Structure 1
Amino acid sequence: MKRSGADMAAVAKPRVLFVINSLAGGGAERVLLTLLEGSEGLRDRVDFSLALLDDEPRAYSPPGWLTVHQLDVRRSLLRSILQLRRLVRQQKPDLIVSFLTRSNLASTVVARGSGLPNVISERANTSGHFKPTLAGNLSRRLVAALYPRASRVIAVSRGIADDLVRNFGVRRDRMDVIANPLPADRVQHLARQESGLSVPRPFCVAVSRLTPGKNVRMVVDAFARSGLPGSLVIFGEGPERAAIEAAIEQHGLAGRVLLPGFASNPFSTMRHADFYVSASNGEGFPNSLVEALALGLPAIATNCASGPSEILADLSREEVHGLTIAPYGILTDTNAVDQLADAMQAISGEAERLRAAGPVRAAEYSVERACTRYWETIAHALDRPSLLSR
């Protein structure tokens, strides 16, 4: 029987399987769903679905039109490989696209064993991501063994790409640097909603998990040294809360440093702040920093690996030294509390310029631009350069 043109188009439509650990919460999960939602217009040319390795409660809901395959590997790399291999044999995708380290490792093993191309997306600065433990060292060795075998590797910052090339053997010609997408309309919509936390001005704001690597205690220390009036609001939760509360008491800042915990919508409070501040010792791509710029907040960030220098100065980390007044914010060295305090004092003199520059910079991280870049990489890995052509 002769096939119709529609039948031929359906046969030719490539099948792309996206893979992530779960949708239990976190920046990578939110980014993946943002990309998938922004790709809905490609459904007539691509058949794509999503596999979740861990059967955990979902903090985010995938779009209703997306086919979701729920696995149950219980955070095991071996079970991830075995169950993903079974799914690939059933679904017969033409390409696997994965996010987060365990998904990346499992997808690369399965893709190589199945003769499929694959694209992995690295979200964190890899060298700083693994602790110097037996498990951490094993993970590092697995990354070094498997990441170079992926068809394409996407890094969310130039610093991460450089680290993968320098320390993990990934070839530069297989790398693409694609920053996280910022759904600016959504951020602005949430910012206009009524705030559940009313804070009198002046105040500054931080948004971060309360973990040692985020170094939120240094924000409190620097705020105390700065002598600034008003309040500091820190959105986020984590194991460092007790230590941060102790620092607040030590500095006599009770009632002036607020720890409201995790907020699904911090933007309605953030938009009223005088500036945003981050003292992190390590980032993959700091989403909250770009969200602050989108809201027109002057921003201060430590020059950690990786991302802040690229966002605020359009420079590599190695090109920035000390307290730096950059085009889109202020950068300081990591673990330099006096510099951070000085930046807090200096930012009022830059506020008018930065409030105008921030949204312009944030617009460069649009969902449309990120989706286009991702699908260009996917088309290259599929050897289908015409995939995005209409």
Structure 2
Amino acid sequence: MMMSGSARKKKAVFVINSLAGGGAERIMTTLLRASAPWRERYDITLVLLDREPDAYAVPDWIEVIQLDCKGKFLPSIVALRRLYARINPDVTLSFLSRANVGNILATRGLRTACIISERVNSTAHFGGHLRSLASKLLLRLTYPSADHVIAVSDGVAQDLHDNFAVPQDRVSIVFNPVDHDLIEDLGAGEPAIAVGGEYIAATGRLVPNKNFSMLIDAFAQSALPCSLVILGEGPEREKLEAQVAELGLQDRVHLPGFIDNPFAVLKRATLFALPSNAEGFPNGMVEAMACGLPVVTTNCPSGPSEILLNRPRDENEGMVQCDAGVVVPTNDASAFAQALRLVYDPATRDAKGATAASITHKFDIMQTTGRYWEIIDRLAATRRKSVTAHRPKIAASGQTS
């Protein structure tokens, strides 16, 4: 669609903490790459709150503004407020909790339409520690006043309504986009690591919620004649390495860290394992499925049950076999080991892998990117004529830092 000479492009600003390695960061750049069809109607800007090394590239036609908020709430709010006052965006869309809170508070009193995207099941993600309770309170005070919230799964949407008072009529569910062409191209490349023989693959940050400790125990119990490769980096590395050594698995469990092209490794794997205690949308699992891998996954909140079983999660459900793999209860190493043996069976894994790949086409990149832009278009078209009354009176004070 061509614009008339007098038509003004709208300004859309995307906000995220940084482009350091991670699922949300990869999805942000995937979404931006697929947004070229909307360039004629929008000036698109990406705002990075922190100065971190970029793990993912942004198209050169997108303006990138890098702030230096050092991972803190208050500087993020102040810096975003100053930026919005200067560039006057029509609509903003943020990923991740700090960026979301900063986006909501920075647009308060402005005519900018504020959209946030929640990438995790916040109740499960934050847990019950004192600092986590403070974070959950902050989300409860701010999230209901966003003009619209995009949740990455039904479970995330329900959690936002039940535990964070977000009105259901302001929530849309949009699954993460999968770039099948890119995965196919990168999957054909040379792997950054060489693993002899068959191996099980897993990906994710080495943090407690990903529960790779349970996966290592399950792998040991499975007694399968293969290796385990866990791609990712994080604070749990030393603990996991000590566990591997204690089990005598140094030659069969590999922790190569973060690698730029995980798809070349996934394409050559036998199956994919997701041992998480909590997810928003298990992007690593879906991308592995797009590589043709059958999966063994925990039935964690949120996403695996919706994707593999086509139904909401039932936390009391036991092990369930499906056409693309097996779903097991969370934090159950014995059940996970049994599921690994079932899916590893050569008689079934190829068929399950083919089914897994077919499932991912409902998350095709252009379809899901189009859903994001439908929401952006709608909000930008109804850009607030005045300050909305429902916004909470929260000062940018030390309580948010």
Q: TM-score, normalised by structure 2?
A: 0.89
Judging changes above 3 Å, is the alpha-carbon distance between structure 1 residues 57 and 195 closer, same or farther for their aligned structure 2 residues?
closer
Are residues 244 and 378 of structure 1, via their aligned partners in 2, closer, same or farther at CA, if it must alter by over 3 Å?
same
Tell me whether 1:100 sits opposite 2:90 in the alignment: no
* Alignment partner, residue 323 of structure 2: 327
Give the alignment of 1:1-390 within 5 angstroms. 6-9=4-7, 11=8, 13-318=9-314, 321-347=317-343, 348=345, 349-383=347-381
CA contact (8 A) 2:125 2:279 kept: no
Give the Cα–Cα distance (whole angstroms) in 2 for the partners of residues 208 and 24 of structure 1. 13
**Which structure has the higher relative contact order (CA within 8 Å, separation 6+)?**
2
CA distance in 1, matches of 2:244, 2:315: 34
**One-letter identity of the residue aligned with 1:201:** G
Q: Structure 1 CA distance, aligned partners of 2:133 and 2:25? A: 25
Paired residue for 2:390?
A: none
Q: Which contiguous aligned blocks of 4+ residues in structure 1 show a shift greater than 6 angstroms?
A: none
Note the C-alpha offset of 1:97. 1.1
Where 1:176 maps in the other structure, the secondary structure is: strand
Cα 1:344–1:57 change in 2 (3 A) is closer
> Secondary structure at 2:229's aligned position in 1?
strand
Identity of aligned residues (%): 42
Alpha carbon RMSD of aligned pairs, Å?
Answer: 1.9
- Native 8 Å contact 1:147 1:168 kept in 2: yes
Distance 1:361 1:70 in 2: 37
Q: Report how far residue 319 of structure 1 moved.
A: 7.2
SS in 2 for 1:318: coil
Distance in 1 of aligned mates of 2:255 and 2:94: 35
Instruction: Give me the whole-angstrom Cα distance separating, in 2, the residues matched to 1:238 and 1:86.
Output: 33
* Distance (Å, rounded) in 1 between the aligned partners of 2:362 and 2:193: 30
SS at match of 1:112: coil
SS across alignment from 1:159: helix
Give, in whole Å, the separation in 2 of the partners of 1:86 and 1:266. Answer: 38
Residue 220 to residue 259, structure 1, CA distance change in 2 (3 Å): same
CA-CA distance at 1:251 after TM superposition: 2.8
CA distance in 1, matches of 2:45, 2:288: 32
Q: Is the 8 A contact 2:192 2:259 kept in 1?
A: no
How many pairs are equivalent? 379
Q: 1:44 to 1:331 in 2, by over 3 A?
A: same
Q: How far apart are 1:290 and its partner, in Å?
A: 0.8
Matching residue's letter, 2:229: V
Residues 24 and 228 from structure 1, CA distance in 2 versus in 1: closer, same or farther, beyond 3 angstroms?
Answer: closer
Q: Which amino acid aligns with 1:315?
A: R
Distance in 1 (alpha carbons) for counterparts of 2:5 and 2:161? 43
If the length of structure 1 is used for normalisation, what is the TM-score? 0.92
